[in-house]
Amino acid sequence: MIYLDNAATSWPKPESVYQTMDEFLRTRGGNPGRSGHSLALAASRMIEETRLLVARLINAPDKDRVIFTMNCTDSLNLGLKGLLKPGDRVITGCLEHNSVVRPLRKLEGQGVRVVMLSPTSEDGFISPRDLEKALDRETRMVVMNHASNVNGLIQPIEEYGAIARRHNLIFMVDAAQTAGKYPLDVQTSNIDLLAFSGHKGLFGPPGTGALYIGERVDLDSLREGGTGTFSELEEQPTELPYKFESGTINSVGIAGLGAGVKYIFREGMQTILAHAQSLTDRLLEGLCRISGATVYKAGDSSRQAPTISFNLKGFQPGEVGAILDQAFDIKVRTGLHCAPLAHRTLGTFPSGTIRISPGYLNTLEEIDFCLQAIGKIARAEAI
């Protein structure tokens, strides 16, 4: 089997992730922060160690500003709904995932003004100049993804961040497609809110994610309840990270996430990046040579994340995905990838595209096999 759907969730996980989760649940599965016994204390230590590892990965100045969530969607909902109030204006782009678009549409119904910028730069990203022109006095926030989950285009978040900071705005980044795959630095990129999945590039299990909350942001909580701290209070504590971590936390998932982040540090970001680049280059080169294939990618290859979309003339995306799965045992994702707006922008709405997203554990041989399979489908040899 060849798994090429790492933009949805990474699979398989490094062996240490499976082992750590198994060991944790068997030997340290107490409820962190809830009791004084050794099992609960061991679980708490693991949570705080993982928080520190994640904070180091994004260069957060304080580990307690990293909040564990269920996934990137959860982090985005907390950042957007915890900040924006009726009358606020927020600027975003037309390459966003529904996990940004849908919360914003809901907030729009409550009086938040949403401005969606279309990409005008040659390379397909939202031009920083257009962003700056769109700002006005009511603008409170800018939210952009780091890389599109449809065509893998990496946007210039450093430039957006500098503009947002200059105008005293809150800058939020959706790093679902880049965390663990690209260096991220919340301090030098002027990021106030960084939302990311734990189960994609960080190699954690499904049900893990995180939100970095910078010092300039005062967020409302969306859930209140037991935190294991300040138990004498009937009101939600204001201290981070507890304010946003009510209820029993996904400790076994976070144990796996910690093992995933340790794996990234062991392998090294430069090695991970270089491997992604070689898989992506091979895939792009091969796809562009297949007759009848239209490839959706970044204009400039240095802005290309390992997520590539394409279509084959004469085929619906779903048909190609089904043949790859059934005839070749290759797993890719087809359709709209929860990003209808991005597909409208790329001209691939409503049928969408076939998306191939290799991960660190894929090989060049697997990419070659996948390209051969697509070539056969295009030549109608595999139907």
List of residues contacting ligand PLP (CB under 6 A)? 7-8, 71-73, 97, 99, 145, 149, 174, 176-177, 197, 209
Q: Pull the structure tokens for residue 359.
A: 């991960």
CB nearer to ligand PLP: give 203 or 315. 203
Whether the Cβ atoms of residue 310 and residue 353 lie closer than 8 Å to each other = yes
Residue nearest ligand PLP, CB atom distance:
149
Closest approach, Cβ 308 to ligand PLP, in A, equals 14
Q: Judge whether 298 and 123 are in contact, CB under 8 Å.
A: yes
Q: What is the chain's length?
A: 383
Instruction: For ligand PLP, give the closer residue by CB, 40 or 126.
Output: 126
| 94 classed as catalytic | no
Pick between residue 198 and residue 375 the one whose CB is nearest to ligand PLP: 198
CB of 96 to ligand PLP, least distance (A): 7
171 vs 315 by CB, closer to ligand PLP: 171
d(CA 252, CA 202): 15
Q: Taking the complex as a whole, how short is the minimal distance between the CB of residue 180 and ligand PLP, in angstroms?
A: 12
Q: Is 179 or 377 the residue whose CB approaches ligand PLP more closely?
A: 179
3-state SS, residue 208: coil
Q: Could you give phi then psi for residue 170, rounded to 5 degrees?
A: -85, 130
Q: Whole-number minimum distance, CB 305 to ligand PLP, in Å?
A: 10
Rounded to the nearest whole angstrom, what is the least distance from the CB of residue 125 to ligand PLP in the complex? 14
b/e per residue, 74-111, with b = 16+ CB within 10 A?
A: bbbbbbbbbbbeeebbbbbbbbbbbbbbbbbeebeeee
Among candidate residues 72, 288, 338, 370, the one labeled active-site is 338
Separation CA 142–CA 154 (nearest Å): 16
41 membership: H or E segment, kind and range: helix 38-57
Instruction: Give catalytic residue positions.
Output: 338
